[in-house]
Amino acid sequence: MRRVVVTGLGVVSPIGCGVAAFWERLTSGVGGISRIDRFDPSAFSSQIAGQIRDFSADALIPSKEQRRMDLFSVYGVSAAKLAVADAGIDWATIDRERCGVAVSSGIGGIQTLSDELTVLQEKGPRRVSPFLVPQMIVNMPAGLIAIEFGLKGPNFATVTACASALHSIGHAFRAINHGDADLMVAGGAEAPITPIGLAGFCSMRALSTRNDDPAHACRPFDKDRDGFVMSEGAGVVILEEYEHAVTRGAVIYAEVAGFGMSCDANHITAPCEDGAGAARAMLAAMHDAGLSRDDVDYINAHGTSTPMNDKCETAAIKGAFGEQAKRVMISSTKSVTGHMLGAAGGIESIVCALAIKHGVIPPTINYTTPDPDCDLDYVPNTARTHTVRACLNNSFGFGGHNGCLAFKRV
Amino acid sequence: MANKLEERVKAIIVEQLGVNAEQVTPEASFIDDLGADSLDTVELIMAFEEEFGAEIPDDEAEKLTSVGKVIEYLAAKGFDKE
């Protein structure tokens, strides 16, 4: 039975790039939400986001190549390079036909599509860029990462909206587990902070409109939550077959023990009220990992800060854990980073690996007023030092896609 | 004689292909010398069309393989008068 471990982490986020900066700010509970200034947001009902500032990819990607990439690809490739460096991989010693990539996005190059649509309308089809298609398609970061490192193994990008990165990591885990690869670069990237992206979510009434107080807008499980806050960036991990990692002396963060999936089959955007679909994904992940309810210490929740998700996810955790739901510690990374959509599952898998490695559970910040429908332990406001023997990472996407990864200490 | 047309063409090539001005000599081939691929050359032709308000059909564009050939082509079309 081939075991799979996490040996490298790469983060590009509104609260820092690189693992050290990210973890410091996450555990300190210093959020990354602010008023949007990439464009004028005043005509929109929600005017806040987790915008990445002061990030230059120039040290990671030549500017000439960046010109041919949508921002989401810049984030994804940057995070992959950071993860590869973090893993200390010497490619000369590794069979790269046995190494692959599974990095995806929820929406891909929406800014590129938006720009070229304007060109089409104003100047006609002959002026549409030959780079439109390669720049916007969701799988391109995976292709670019493979080109960069010469990785000739399995390569794909699973798309499940806000669960995209989680499903990519899950199927990368399966690829190694099954023997198709020995190493996979896996995760997700998203750059949705564009007028059309913001407008779409605003019209759905899905976003927080707490524009006068951005720092406190994202408040998962709190009684006064009013929607999620859009964010951007990338989270990429290096997954490796256990013996392969040990042989090359890799530092191991955690083991990927299991992967569970389900669908609500209920509504295009709203989750099941009773959380039954999400509960099945969690139970499937635990079963795949050979974990019982007693073994799981921490759940990294999807925890978007929407009225519906947080209530339904609480119900799901109770459904999956029964009495143990009261014991398990739960926190939402999104309270600090905002919702990175297709990249969230990647960032949050990184949080799980670090929680296990360091024995520290990051907080759910902005938690001031309990909600009777959300009555579990959400590790409010302050990080908690506690051994994490095993944890679950939940991600759920529009369309009813539920994914859950189980991690455990090695 | 360096002229406005040459300067404008060179500026576009430097920006589009991310090369240094010194590399953009009349003999320089876009693909062989300046690192362009087939998508780059299509976008380059579009940039010339945009800059000069020209329309360059595909069968003529495919012959414009070097800096010098582009300059000659646009001069022959009368764009050096602007």
A4-247 CATH pick, 3.20.20.70, 3.40.50.150, 3.40.50.1000, 3.40.47.10:
3.40.47.10
Residues A370-400 have pLDDT tens digits of: 999 999 999 999 999 999 999 999 999 999 9
| Residues in chain A within 8 Å Cβ distance of B46 | 126-127, 129-130
- pLDDT at position B2 is 54
Residue A1: predicted pLDDT: 81
Q: What is the pLDDT of residues A280-327, one digit of tens each?
A: 999 999 999 999 999 999 999 999 999 999 999 999 999 999 999 999
CB A157, CB A105: distance < 8 Å: yes
For residue A268 the two structure tokens come to 């295009």
From chain A, the residues in CB contact with B50 under 8 A are: 127
User: Residue A130's closest CA among A112, A103, A146?
Assistant: A112
pLDDT reported for residue A130: 97
* Residues of A annotated catalytic, as ranges: 162, 302, 339
Whether residue A130 and residue B43 make contact (CB cut-off 8 A), yes or no, is yes
Read off the tokens for A400: 């009813």
Q: How many CA atoms lie within 13 A of A230 on its CB side?
A: 25
Rounded Cα gap, residues A101 and A172, in angstroms: 8
Give residue-wise pLDDT tens across range A338-369.
Answer: 999 999 999 999 999 999 999 999 999 999 99
Q: How confident is the model at residue A176 (pLDDT cuts 50, 70, 90)?
A: very high
Strands A48-49 and A16-17: unpaired
Calculate mean pLDDT across residues A18-22. 98
Q: Give residue A128's region: left, alpha or beta (phi > 0; psi -120 to 50).
A: beta
Side-chain-side CA neighbours of residue B81 (13 Å): 3
The pLDDT assigned to B81 comes to: 74
Is the CB of A126 less than 8 angstroms away from the CB of B46?
yes
Give the DSSP H/E element, type plus range, for residue A7.
strand A4-13
Nearest to A67 among B18, B46, B55 (CB): B18
CA distance B48 to chain A (A): 11
From the list A64, A127, A130, the residue facing B39 with the nearest CB is A130
Closest B-chain CA to A68? B40
Report pLDDT for A335: 98
Q: Are A351 and A361 contacting, i.e. CB atoms less than 8 angstroms apart?
A: no
Of A64, A127, A129, which is closest to B18 when you measure between CB atoms? A64
Mean pLDDT, chain B, as a whole number? 93
Mean pLDDT of chain A: 97
Regions in chain B scoring below 70 on pLDDT:
1-2, 82
**pLDDT at residue B82 in the model:** 59
Q: How far is B43 from chain A (nearest CA, A)?
A: 6
ipTM of the complex model: 0.89
Interface touch B43/A129, C-beta < 8 Å: yes
User: Which class in CATH covers the domain with range B4-81?
Assistant: mainly alpha
Contact B46 A64 (CB under 8 A): no
pLDDT in tens, A89-140: 999 999 999 999 999 999 999 999 999 999 999 999 999 999 999 999 999 9
* Cβ–Cβ gap A127/B46 under 8 Å: yes
The reply to whether A258-408 shares the fold of A4-247 is yes
CATH number of A258-408: 3.40.47.10
Token digits for A396?
């759920």
Rounded mean pLDDT, A54-62: 95
Contact at CB, A127 and B49, closer than 8 angstroms: yes
Pairs of residues, one from chain A and one from chain B, whose beta carbons lie less than 8 Å apart: 21
Interface residues from chain A to B (CB-CB < 8 Å): 62-64, 67-68, 126-127, 129-131, 134
Domain assignments of chain B as residue spans, ordered by start: 4-81
* Domain residue ranges of chain A, discontinuous segments joined by +: 4-247, 258-408
Q: What would the pLDDT profile of B16-39 be if each residue is shown by its tens digit?
A: 999 999 999 999 999 999 999 999
